[in-house]
Structure 1
Amino acid sequence: MALPPKFKGQRLVFNEAGSEPLHTVEVYLDYVCPFSAKMFNTIQTSLAPAIRANSTLASKVQFIFRSQVQPWHPSSTLVHEASVAVLRLSPDRFWDFSAALFRDQKSYFDVSVVNETRNQTYRRLAQLGAESAGVDADELYRLLEIPTTPADDGSLNVGNAVTNDLKVLIKMARLVSVHVSPTVIFDGVVANDISSGWTVDQWIEWLNKNTA
């Protein structure tokens, strides 16, 4: 599936020459899912450097982070909204902010957020964005904040400044019937054999085989 230009920060490419890779790995991840964190950490810390060091593989494959909001984790919406806000303010720092969200994910688990308001959680996320992605915390918070008074037309369900972007990301996941995280899609087909527990060697072996 194509990636809208406004979400370009979700793409991870390894070929500095700029040629379009032949193959695409889409990883559907949820910031409050421990298994998603495990897969993301392997991709970012081990797999990405290994691919960059392999010129043949680097020219063949790209990764796309796909936001997988899971409503049984209520804070999932909030953390993904924060990532969308960072995409808007500083798309080149999206993966850095995602890494920070996964490192700090327990701070957004149910027990960690149940006694704070939605806007209080947004405040913490805005500060994390400033610390990890270099964005202005107040500017990030303004994109996330929910008004405390009705809109001029009396509307109470107004969302925030990134609600419409998040809707697009959720629609994209639903179009390919992704239900849980992590899910990996390779060239448009779900790759059920890929596990969150895979090592970098398993990833490289699989990619070499499937991009040959």
Structure 2
Amino acid sequence: MTIDGPGDRQSKNQRREAAREKAKQLREEQRKKEVRNRAILISSLSVVVIAIIVGVALVIVSTIRPAGPGPQNMASDGIQIGTGFVAETTPALAAGEDPVPTVNDPASGTVDIRVYLDYMCPYCGQFEATNNTQLGEWIESGAATVEIHPLSILDRSSLGSKYSTRSANAAACVANYSPDQFWDYNSLLFQNQPAENTEGLDNQKLKDLAGEAEVTAQGDIESCIDDTTFRGWVADSTSRALEGPLPDTDEAKVTGTPTVLVNGEKYTGSLTDPDAFSAFVVQVSGEAYSTATPTPTPTAG
């Protein structure tokens, strides 16, 4: 039989002490690890919270962004084209200022035609292709004025390029810097109208068309198109048209494009028959100005 001596008992005590020390070290390392993990978790959560706050702030800022100033010559939210294709000049709307409806003199015998349109709207394209020539003849002769209101309703149909906004902004740029070329530019936008559910014309093409319209201040217009200078006004004027009221008419608001008003009466006839629209104009102008001249006459299709 072997009996443990004093040296053996001391060795066992030392081993116990070493085990306790090792356990203590492990507990301390575990504690430090937990502290580090907690710090990392808190830091990560802080980053996420900050990102959420920034995102929400951006949404709020974009939602309540201050209204931008409008273009010159569109104080009514539209530009009126008169005899010789000369635009009615008006000052720019200040930021947040309400539009000023165009005032027409019934005694003048001139027919007041207003068109609310979207440059991506295929029905607007049909109306334009059908009636551009006779509208131009009425304008040139002084028989009618045409007031054009560009809207941005179909941004969702341009694959993220916001073509309705960009094209309406481009039109506003021309109205601001070269108003007497607006009629030609408006016509070119429809002659080159893109199909729905495409990206639409790029900014370079919009600038090229301004050159084709022989605008003045080409450089200013190109910068205005690239910067979408009047995008805030486009959004505001579109909201005003969709919410109403529309001035000088019993129509409460725009419910679709094109909305065409002749002396305040809405045209609901064919978009592809020029005689139908001409007859409507003659009827309405005859009701309002039974003795006035000149009066638009039907144009053969």
Same fold (TM over 0.5): yes
CA distance in 1, matches of 2:129, 2:285: 23
Question: Which of residues 186, 190, 193 in structure 2 aligns to 1:102?
Answer: 190
Contact 1:31 1:101 in 2 (8 A): yes
Contact 2:122 2:196 in 1 (8 A): no
Aligned partner of 1:124 in structure 2 is: 205
CA distance in 1, matches of 2:236, 2:134: 30
Unpaired segments of 5 or more residues in structure 2?
1-70, 86-103, 247-252, 287-301
1:196 aligns with 2:271: yes
CA distance in 2, matches of 1:51, 1:35: 22
1:170 aligns with 2:238: yes
CA distance in 2, matches of 1:48, 1:131: 18
CA distance in 2, matches of 1:178, 1:82: 21
Q: How far did 1:28 drift?
A: 1.4
CA distance in 2, matches of 1:138, 1:186: 36
Contact 1:84 1:165 in 2 (8 A): no
Question: Which of residues 199, 207, 212 in structure 1 aligns to 2:281?
Answer: 207
Question: Which of residues 129, 133, 150 in structure 2 aligns to 1:67?
Answer: 150
Aligned partner of 2:73 in structure 1 is: 6
User: 1:76-102 CA distances to partner (integer Å, 9 max, x unpaired)?
Assistant: 111111111111110011110011111
CA distance in 2, matches of 1:101, 1:15: 20
Contact 2:262 2:284 in 1 (8 A): no
User: 1:16-67 CA distances to partner (integer Å, 9 max, x unpaired)?
Assistant: 9xx94454221112211222122123332134326756x8xx1xx4321121
1:25 aligns with 2:113: yes
CA distance in 2, matches of 1:52, 1:101: 20
Question: Which of residues 211, 214, 229 in structure 2 aligns to 1:161?
Answer: 229
Q: Match for 2:231: what amino acid? A: T
Structure of larger gyration radius: 2
Aligned partner of 1:139 in structure 2 is: 220
Q: Match for 2:198: what amino acid? A: V
Identity of aligned residues (%): 21
The alignment of Structure 1 onto Structure 2 pairs a total of residues equal to: 181
Instruction: Tell me the secondary structure at the aligned position of residue 133 of structure 1.
Output: coil
Q: Which has the higher contact order (CA 8 A, sep 6+)?
A: 1
Question: Which of residues 111, 116, 136 in structure 1 aligns to 2:198?
Answer: 111
TM-score by length of 2: 0.51
